[in-house]
Chain A
Amino acid sequence: MSAPVSAGAVWRRVLPVWLGLMALLALSCAAAYAPLGPWNVAVSFGIAATQALLVALLFMRLDSASALIRLTAACGLFWSAILFSLSLADVLSRLTRT
């Protein structure tokens, strides 16, 4: 861990990420008012997922984390995916029948 030693070096690493996150926030707020039909949901949650990915990789530093840490973080998503797909398989199949 030799890279940033001056305050400027720390800010140069994190400020561009913050600017990107704020730009995405503005984009997501504006896109919510655009008449995109069913795409509104996809766009707003897609932007949220992009922001969360930026926070996880660059603020919480998964980009430079060890394989064990990355695997642990991925576990949360993996089990959530199972939770969502199995539960929604039931809920959505009932919806299409009625």
Chain B
Amino acid sequence: MSDPAIATEALLREPWDGLKLPEEQALSYQRTGATFGIWIFIASEVLFFGALFLFYTAVRAEHAEAFAAAARETNIVYGTVNTALLLTSGLTAAAASRASEHAALIRLTRWCLVATALLGLAFLVVKGLEYREDIAEHLVPGPGFKLPEASAQLFFGFYWLSTAIHGIHLMIGIGLVARLIVIGWRHPERIPGNPQVEVTLLYWGFVDMVWLFLYPALYLAGRSG
């Protein structure tokens, strides 16, 4: 981080006095620590979602026909629109992360953060509409379920569990991005070069990646049959 306009002293988190490092170097250490930390968290989240996808793989291998029939009941329009929304939010998140390295690009950083949060909210709205349709069509596992095959309920068990957990992750992401927007609005000098921007947007990228695998698992299976 060589941009001299970055307010190093405003970004440093205490206590760093004990190491007697120059401010610039201390902030660079903090940045490395923050990035390393979020990647450890992401790697553990990969295992968390990995277990969910393992359930999906094992049950689908056993009940291929019922899974294909159940997956045809999901609404591919909502699913595809939501994938496009999340990929676009990934674009604005990546742009915000890169722009935040330069104090001159504070306006771009702010607008990209706002766009990221709004695209995340749009995703949740579409998901809500889809949930309403799913409930109306009796796609909730339990008595009165739409499909006759018992294992089709396993598919929708995975559908509700995985999309709800992904939705919670996304809500946390929107909250974290909203926090950066508030910080940038109250203290504009605290955004350029702030490691928190990169950390937040790395988390956003991960939530994006989870959806990229949920999309073929939930919406694309059984379409050609």
Enumerate B35-57 residues with CB–CB distance to A below 8 Å: 35-36, 39-40, 42-47, 50-51, 54, 57
How many residues in B have their beta carbons less than 8 Å from beta carbons of A?
A: 55
C-alpha spacing A75/B44, complex, angstroms: 9
**Centre residue among A13, A75, A77 by max chain B CB count within 10 A:** A75
User: Which label, helix, strand, loop or mixed, suits the secondary structure of the B interface?
Assistant: helix
Enumerate A42-98 residues with CB–CB distance to B below 8 Å: 44-45, 47-49, 51-52, 55-56, 58-61, 65-66, 68-69, 72-73, 75-77, 79-80, 83-84, 87-88, 91-92, 95
Q: With an 8 A cutoff between CB atoms, is B87 at the interface?
A: yes
Query: In the complex, what residues of A have CB within 8 A of residue B97's CB?
Result: 61
Q: Is the CB of A22 within 8 A of B62?
A: no
Q: Is the CB of B99 within 8 A of A7?
A: yes
Query: In the complex, what residues of A have CB within 8 A of residue B208's CB?
Result: 55, 59
Stretch of B137-145, B170-178, B180-188, B210-218 lying at the A interface: B210-218
Which positions in A face B, CB cutoff 8 Å?
1-2, 4-7, 10-11, 13-15, 17-18, 21-22, 25, 28-29, 32-36, 40-41, 44-45, 47-49, 51-52, 55-56, 58-61, 65-66, 68-69, 72-73, 75-77, 79-80, 83-84, 87-88, 91-92, 95
